[in-house]
C-alpha cells in the first residue's frame, strides 16, 4: 500500500479512505455459476463499482466433489476484485458421506471432536487461507456460506469484523456444535429470505447481531437474447419443455423431477420434455425426452429459460434461488418444492407460480401451466413485477452498503 497521502488533512491515502471488505468463499471464479460463490462474486463486483476496495480470499479449488485444484495459486485482479487463492491442504475425503453419516444423524448431540472431524473430512482445509484472513486489513470480512472450514476457523480470527452470509438450509450440519460460536458471535448477519432468518433464529441465539434480509440482485437477460432453447437442446420445437437449472443431483430433487415428468407423460396427451441444466453429480436414467446438458454458457442458459414453458425448482434445500428470479425476470412461471421454505415463500409472496409436495400436486400445477397459456402468462408477469420491485441490483446494493456502513 502506498504511503502517499495526496495532501489529505487526516494523513490517510485515497486507498486507505475507501471502505473495504474481504469475501471469504471456498472457491471463486467467473465460471462458477449459481450457489453461494456466485452470489458472493456478484456482491463483490458491484461493491467495486461503488468505489469500495474489495478482495476475495479463497482456495484454488474448482469443484466441490473433491475440492480439486481448478485455478493457480496466487493473486489476480478479476473485474476489479483482488482475488487471492491458496492451496488446499485437505480436500473432501472420498469416504466423507460414509464416515459422517452417524454424525449427521445425531447432529444435535454430536461432540465438538466429532463436529471438527466432520469439517476436516468435508474440506476444503487451507491453513494459508485462514492465516490470510487473520492478516486481512479490510473493514469487514464476509463469510459466504457458513458451512465450510474457512468460515468456522477464519471467523475466529476476525470476530469483530465478521459479516456472515449463512446461505443456511434446514440440513443436518446446521445443528453441529461448532457452528454455534460462528452464528452467536457474528456482529452482522445477512439473510437471503425471511424463511432463512426464521430457521437460524430457531437454532441459534443471534440477538447480538445486526441483521438484514437482503436477497440477491438479478442481472437482466442479455438484450435480444434468443429463445431458441429447443434448438440448443435438440428438442422438437413443436413440443413444450420445462427446465431445471442448477446442480443435477438426487439431493437437489432432479431425480424426483425426472420421475414426476415420466409419470405426467404417461397420463397426459401433452407430453413435455425436460431439460436439466448444470453440473452433473448424480444423473437420472436416460430418456429420449430428457436432456442433461452439463454446464452451459450464459447465453445458452438464458435461451433455454426463455424457450421453456416453465422453470421447475425441485430442490429441497435452497436459501434464495437466483434462477427463480432469472426465470421470472423473463416472465416465465415457476414451480417449486413445497419442502423448501425459502422458495415456497417466494411463490406465496409473488403469486407467480405453484409449489408441490407430491406428485398429484405437481401434476395439477404443470397441467395448468401447459394447458392454460393465459394463466401461465399472467403468472410470469406477476413474477417479473416481483423481481423488479424487490431484487434490482440498485435496490439490493443500496440496502447492503447502508447495512455495512
Q: What is the predicted pLDDT for the residue at 240?
A: 97
Residues 210 and 257 in one domain: no
User: In this structure, are 195 and 249 located in the same domain?
Assistant: no
pLDDT at 211: 97
In angstroms, rounded to a whole number, what is the distance separating the alpha carbons of residues 174 and 21?
Answer: 26
Instruction: Give dist(CA 336, CA 326) in Å, integer.
Output: 14
CA gyration radius, the chain: 22
Q: Calculate mean pLDDT across residues 239-264.
A: 96
For 278-332, the pLDDT digits (tens) are: 989 899 998 999 999 999 998 999 999 999 999 999 999 888 898 999 999 999 9
Residue 84, SS3 per DSSP: strand
Angle between helices 194-203 and 341-350 (to 10 degrees): 140
**162 phi and psi, to 5 degrees?**
-70, 130
CB 155, CB 162: distance < 8 Å: yes
Residue 18 resides in a domain: yes
Task: Give me the percent of the chain exceeding a pLDDT of 90.
Answer: 85
Q: Which pLDDT belongs to residue 291?
A: 97
Q: Which of 175, 190, 214 is the last residue of a domain?
A: 214
pLDDT > 80? residue 197? yes
Question: Is residue 2 domain-resident?
Answer: no
Distance (Å, whole) CA 338 – CA 392? 26
Residue 347, domain member (yes or no): yes
Residue 7 located in a structural domain? no
Mark whether 327 and 384 lie in a shared domain: yes
**Residue 9 forms part of a structural domain:** no
Same domain, residue pair 193 and 234: no
Q: Domain count for the chain, please give it.
A: 2
| DSSP at 292 | E
37 with 158, same domain: the answer is yes
pLDDT score for 224: 81
pLDDT attached to residue 205: 97
Q: What is the mean pLDDT of residues 184-212?
A: 96
Residues 272 and 335 in one domain: yes
- Side-by-side strand order, sheet with 334-337: 290-294, 273-277, 241-245, 310-313, 334-337, 353-356
Interatomic CA distance for residues 348 and 208, integer angstroms: 30
140 vs 150: CA distance, rounded Å: 16
Residue 2 has pLDDT above 50, yes or no: no
Q: Which residue has the cell 493473486?
A: 75
Find where cell 452433473 sits: 280
Question: What would the grid cell of residue 369 be?
Answer: 401451466
Q: What φ, ψ does residue 58 adopt, rounded to 5°?
A: -155, -175
Among 217, 168, 177, smallest CA distance to 195 is for: 168
For 10-69, what is each residue's pLDDT tens digit? 555 556 689 999 999 999 999 887 789 999 999 999 999 999 999 999 999 998 889 999
Inside any domain, residue 224: no
Spatial contact of 198 and 385, defined as CB atoms under 8 Å apart: no
In a domain, 240, yes or no: yes
Q: Does one domain contain both 203 and 261? A: no
* Residues 153 and 264 placed together within one structural domain of the fold: no
Asked if pLDDT for residue 251 goes beyond 90, the answer is no
Within 13 A of 38's CA, how many CA atoms are on the CB side?
14
CA gap 293, 276 in Å, rounded: 6
Domain of 170 in residue numbering reads as 14-214
What's the pLDDT score for residue 225? 82
82: domain CATH number? 3.40.50.2000
Length of the chain in residues, anyone?
Answer: 405
pLDDT at 11: 54
Task: Note whether 174 and 26 are same-domain residues.
Answer: yes
Residue-level pLDDT at 17? 80
> How much is the pLDDT for 16?
64
Residues 240 and 202 in one domain: no
CB 55 within 8 A of CB 65: no
If asked whether residues 237 and 193 sit together in one domain, one would say no
Convert the pLDDT of each residue in 69-91 to its tens digit.
999 999 999 999 999 999 999 99
Phi, psi at residue 258, to the nearest 5°?
A: -60, -40
- 348 C-beta neighbours (distance < 10 Å), count: 12
| Distance from C-alpha of 325 to C-alpha of 342, rounded to nearest angstrom | 13
Q: Are residues 248 and 206 in the same domain?
A: no
Q: Last residue of a domain, which of 153, 184, 214? A: 214
pLDDT value of position 7: 38
Helix (H) or strand (E) holding 140: strand 140-143
Which of 358, 231, 259, 257 shows the shortest CA–CA distance to 310?
257
Q: What is the tens place of the pLDDT at every residue in 156-187?
A: 999 999 999 999 989 999 999 999 999 999 99
Q: Is the pLDDT of residue 117 over 70?
A: yes
Give the model confidence (pLDDT) of 219-233 as tens digits: 888 888 888 999 999
Residue 292 to residue 86: CA distance in whole angstroms: 33
Query: Confidence band (pLDDT; 50, 70, 90) for 194?
Result: very high
In a domain, 113, yes or no: yes
Amino acid at each position: 500500500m502506498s504511503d502517499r497521502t495526496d495532501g489529505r488533512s487526516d494523513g490517510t491515502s485515497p486507498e486507505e479512505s475507501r471502505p473495504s471488505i474481504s469475501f471469504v468463499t471456498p472457491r471463486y471464479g467467473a465460471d462458477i455459476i449459481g450457489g453461494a460463490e456466485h452470489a458472493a462474486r456478484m456482491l463483490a463486483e458491484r461493491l467495486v463499482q461503488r468505489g469500495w476496495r474489495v478482495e476475495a480470499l479463497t482456495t484454488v479449488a474448482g469443484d466441490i466433489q473433491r475440492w480439486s485444484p481448478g485455478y493457480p495459486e496466487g493473486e489476480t485482479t478479476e473485474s476489479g476484485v483482488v482475488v487471492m487463492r491458496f492451496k488446499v491442504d485437505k480436500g473432501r475425503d472420498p469416504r466423507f458421506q460414509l464416515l459422517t453419516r452417524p454424525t449427521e444423524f445425531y447432529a444435535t448431540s454430536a461432540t465438538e471432536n466429532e463436529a471438527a472431524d466432520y469439517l476436516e473430512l468435508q474440506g476444503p482445509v487451507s491453513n494459508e487461507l485462514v492465516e490470510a484472513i487473520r492478516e486481512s486489513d479490510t473493514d469487514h470480512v464476509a463469510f459466504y456460506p457458513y458451512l465450510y472450514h474457512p468460515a468456522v476457523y477464519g471467523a475466529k480470527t476476525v470476530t469483530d469484523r465478521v459479516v456472515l452470509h449463512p446461505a443456511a438450509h434446514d440440513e443436518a450440519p446446521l445443528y453441529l456444535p461448532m457452528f454455534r460460536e460462528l452464528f452467536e458471535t457474528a456482529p452482522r448477519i445477512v439473510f437471503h429470505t425471511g424463511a432463512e432468518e426464521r430457521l437460524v433464529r430457531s437454532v441459534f441465539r443471534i440477538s447480538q447481531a445486526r441483521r438484514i434480509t437482503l436477497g440477491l440482485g438479478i442481472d437482466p437477460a442479455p438484450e435480444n437474447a434468443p429463445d431458441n432453447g429447443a434448438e440448443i437442446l435438440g428438442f422438437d420445437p413443436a413440443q413444450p419443455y420445462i427446465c431445471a437449472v442448477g446442480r443435477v443431483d438426487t439431493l437437489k430433487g432432479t431425480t424426483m423431477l425426472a420421475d414426476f415428468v415420466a409419470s405426467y407423460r404417461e397420463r397426459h396427451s401433452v407430453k413435455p420434455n425436460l431439460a436439466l441444466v448444470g453440473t452433473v453429480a448424480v444423473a437420472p436414467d436416460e430418456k429420449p425426452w430428457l436432456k442433461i446438458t452439463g454446464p452451459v454458457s450464459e447465453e445458452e442458459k438464458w435461451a433455454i429459460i426463455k424457450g421453456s414453458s416453465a422453470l421447475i425448482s425441485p430442490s429441497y434445500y435452497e436459501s434464495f434461488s437466483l434462477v427463480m428470479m432469472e426465470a421470472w425476470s423473463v416472465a416465465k412461471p415457476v414451480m417449486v418444492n413445497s419442502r423448501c421454505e425459502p422458495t415456497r415463500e417466494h411463490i406465496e409472496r409473488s403469486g407467480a407460480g405453484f409449489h408441490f409436495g407430491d406428485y398429484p400436486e405437481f401434476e395439477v400445477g404443470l397441467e395448468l401451466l401447459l394447458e392454460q397459456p393465459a394463466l401461465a402468462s399472467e403468472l410470469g408477469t406477476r413474477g417479473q413485477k416481483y423481481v423488479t420491485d424487490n431484487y434490482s441490483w440498485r435496490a439490493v446494493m443500496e440496502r447492503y452498503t447502508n447495512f455495512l456502513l
